Amino acid sequence: MSSSILREIQLSGLDVRALVEGDLPKVLELERLGYSHPWTEAVFRDCFKDTYRLWALVQEGDLRGYAVVNYMVDEAHLLNLCIHPGLRGQGAGRQLLRRALAESIKDGMAQMILEVRQSNAAAATLYRREGFEEIGRRPGYYPDAVGREDALVLVYRFT
């Protein structure tokens, strides 16, 4: 297990709690600010199931970010990680990611896997610095402005 998981962090004033359906209006706002092709409300609602873990990053009661993880047997799939634009670059994404990793380990997962757009340098750098490694690419996985874009597939093995 990489040491970064053992270094769960808490930035001043930022807490992580379970995301609830009542958070969805704010989630959808952040989602539209975060992505060129945002998830719809229906996609988020479909994630409120036993095999999913949804995390909210809050600051003085306000939703500032969220993460969505799907458990498949012993694999945690990070489906979404998003931080309010005004809070980026201050360690909030790292805090939320580390919490999602730590919870996945507690829940008995063996690894976390994710896809990220190859153009998303901020996210790919965060994941790599936290211990993820590239295990493949999915050609044309994402829609982009003019066609399709490849996904990098990254994994973090816990054992």
- Chain contacts with ligand COA (rule: CB under 6 A): 34-35, 81-83, 88-94, 116, 120-123, 125-126, 129
- Min CB(150)–ligand COA separation in Å: 13
- Min CB(121)–ligand COA separation in Å: 5
**Two tokens at 88?**
């980026």
115 assigned to active site: yes
Positions of E strands within 3-158: 14-18, 52-59, 62-72, 75-83, 111-117, 133-143, 148-157
Give 70: exposed, middle or buried? Use CB within 10 Å, 0-12, 13-18, 19+: middle
Find the residue with minimal CB distance to ligand COA. Answer: 93
Q: Which amino acid is at 70?
A: N
- Min CB(77)–ligand COA separation in Å: 11
Please identify which of the residues 31, 66, 103, 115 carries the catalytic annotation: 115
Residue 43 or 108 having the CB closest to ligand COA: 43
127 assigned to active site: yes
Residue 109 or 152 having the CB closest to ligand COA: 152
Q: Alpha-carbon distance 11 to 94, whole Å? A: 10
Please identify which of the residues 127, 130, 149, 156 carries the catalytic annotation: 127
Q: Alpha-carbon distance 36 to 48, whole Å? A: 23
Residues tagged active-site: 115, 127
